[in-house]
Structure 1
Amino acid sequence: MAISIVTIRLWVLALALTYVSVLYSYLGKADEAVPQTGGEGYDPVQIVSNALLCFNDKYIYSSCEESYRLSQSGNLNVPPQNTDEYCTGPCLTETNLVLKCIDNIFANFEFYNKATIEDVGDTIQAACGNGPERGNFDVSQHIQAEESNGHKAINQILYGLAFMIVGHGLLP
């Protein structure tokens, strides 16, 4: 009977150590799944400034009426009655070029309204589509809440500590 208890305690300890080892290997890798654009040595302020220049590039926005253009705040001020004009004219193409320009410079760009490049793209796709959101260029309705993974790391640490305490309690 004593051998059985010691064996169980050792298995629990081995499991706790394995869990902590796996947990440790994932700490500090929060941004590895995010594609990075740019290179080392670039000034972050300069990168953002270059991304903002996409809005004023006369080679990109040349034919779209200024009131329909995507703003730095992340808004598209296209009235519902002008949806066809926007979606079939040069504005759609030029706005997509601006989004691509920003994405090529700074993939994680966030507009002043907290919208991402993807949020604006989703808004345009829905507003120009044939679904119930056609003509609705309100970007704020398409902003996806970015979920932080910080709580997951803290939970893993707490579970690891709990396993260590339980494992220690089971040792002779």
Structure 2
Amino acid sequence: MARKWMVLSVFMILFCTSKAENKTYPTANNNLSPIQAWRSAEYCLQNTSTKCWDKYTLTDSGWLNVTHEDGHWFCTEGCAEHTGWVLDCLFHVKKDYWFANKATLRDITDTINLGCNSTQGFSGVSIHVSQG
């Protein structure tokens, strides 16, 4: 009987002290199971910024809707910085995250770096998608 109560006590301690997932700061979620990692990745993508127009907000589609003409605005008005934060968040909760268009975190990061730091600019898609 004492063993039963001890097991029940340990269960209650573990259950009552467990923390809920942090939806606001997903990188604070530790020891993520595969399902929790995907959920935390979704929380990263739900982080929006007033600096980004809706059409430039990174979603699970992986489509960077940044045209050549809008590239300067995207890069200088904080949207590229915010998108970088979202990518960093995704990296910390699920390093092997991939988007619906099969682009990886590296593909999107490289697209932004190339679009903002070269004369090539943006074409509206990520490097991976345009090459594959």
Give TM-score scaled by structure 2 length.
Answer: 0.69
Rg (Cα) greater in structure: 1
Are the aligned partners of 2:41 and 2:93 in contact in 1 as well (CA < 8 Å)? yes
Structure 2 segments unaligned to the other structure (5+ residues): 1-29
- Residue aligning to 1:54: 44
Larger helix fraction of residues: 1
Are the aligned partners of 1:124 and 1:137 in contact in 2 as well (CA < 8 Å)? no
For 1:99 and 1:142, locate their aligned partners in 2 and report how far apart those are by CA, in whole Å.
Answer: 21
Amino acid in structure 1 at the alignment position of 2:43: L
Give TM-score scaled by structure 1 length.
Answer: 0.54
- Residue aligning to 2:70: 82
**Displaced runs of 4+ in structure 1, greater than 3 A?**
none
* Higher relative contact order (CA closer than 8 Å, sequence separation 6+): 1
Deviation at 1:77, TM superposition (A): 0.6
For 2:122 and 2:67, locate their aligned partners in 1 and report how far apart those are by CA, in whole Å.
Answer: 7
- Residue aligning to 2:35: 45
| Aligned-residue RMSD, C-alpha | 1.7
For 2:59 and 2:38, locate their aligned partners in 1 and report how far apart those are by CA, in whole Å.
Answer: 15
Is 2:75 aligned against 1:95? no
- Residue aligning to 2:121: 134
Structure 1 segments unaligned to the other structure (5+ residues): 1-37, 144-172
The count of aligned residue pairs is 101
Deviation at 1:142, TM superposition (A): 5.5
Are the aligned partners of 2:62 and 2:101 in contact in 1 as well (CA < 8 Å)? yes
- Residue aligning to 1:155: none
Are the aligned partners of 1:120 and 1:142 in contact in 2 as well (CA < 8 Å)? no
For 1:71 and 1:142, locate their aligned partners in 2 and report how far apart those are by CA, in whole Å.
Answer: 20
Deviation at 1:129, TM superposition (A): 2.1
